[in-house]
Amino acid sequence: MSIKCTTRYAVHPEDFKTYGTRRIREEFLIETVMEADAINLVYSLYDRFITGGAVPVTKPLVLETVDQLKSSYFLERRELGIINVGGTGRVVTDLEVFDIHHKEALYLGRGTEKVVFESVDPLQPARFYLNSTPAHQSYPARLITLKEAVVLQMGSLQESNERQINRLMVKEVVNTCQLQMGMTELKPGSVWNTMPAHTHDRRMETYFYFEVPEGQSICHFMGQPDETRHLFMKNEQAVLSPSWSIHSAAGTSSYTFIWGMAGENLDYSDMDFYTADQLR
């Protein structure tokens, strides 16, 4: 079977304090996102957020419904965000065909029955990163290039966090019900993302780390600001971040990550910040 979907349950922050490394990795880390000729999905009970990847190499991959949804097709009651982190790919829907180049995004609205992933060149396959959330109405499909993103230049080399935030799937660019996605690229010499750290009780978030060089690693920090934990992560792995948790990281080299959010509002700036000296 080309599509696999597992379920992750929500965790109370008081219970989280008792978790050791193994349990934290089991509950929050998604170790295998990209797999050749397969669609891997994780259905989280945090805002019913689905995270996953699709890598069509020798055959097209059809995004079929999964048991967790109890729906006749995948996007019957959901919306979908796609960002391609591989070679040029193609997404075929009911009405349109979209060619998606490296680091371009595609939004598909509720009611899209047919979703098929393809690679233009099997020797350089597309690697589609997927985020999906429940949707209350249908919005038109939209291909989003980096030129169309709302770009923020943040941080500084002196603080090791100089970065460019490409807000691809935000309300200034495309209509969505609750899904937001973007991509943050760290500048050479910078290793910290999202510093100062923050939480937002109105939204949960996922991070997908990629362009992590061979032999390097990401140390992802999570937990309540006064009770933090960490996870060491490899290239093309993802992590779930509850609304009560910070989501910050430092890498042993520069890297890129995709953030996806869902929840109460579409206000990107809705964050509760904690300075570095407030963290424990």
Instruction: Please give the chain's pLDDT, 280 residues, in tens.
Output: 689 999 999 999 999 999 999 999 999 999 999 999 999 999 999 999 999 999 999 999 999 999 999 999 999 999 999 999 999 999 999 999 999 999 999 999 999 999 999 999 999 999 999 999 999 999 999 999 999 999 999 999 998 899 999 999 999 999 999 999 999 999 999 999 888 888 988 999 999 999 999 999 999 999 999 999 999 999 999 999 999 999 999 999 989 999 999 998 898 888 888 888 888 9
**Domain 3-278 classification at class level:** mainly beta
Nearest to 165 by CA among 144, 141, 193, 143: 193
Q: Write the DSSP symbol of residue 212.
A: P
Q: How far is CA 22 from the centre of its chain?
A: 22
Ramachandran bin of 44, using left for φ above 0, alpha for ψ from -120 to 50, beta for the remaining angles: beta
**Encoding tokens for residue 252?**
């042993």
- As a whole number of angstroms, the distance between CA 188 and CA 195 comes to 16
pTM: 0.96
Beta bridge partners of 198: 273
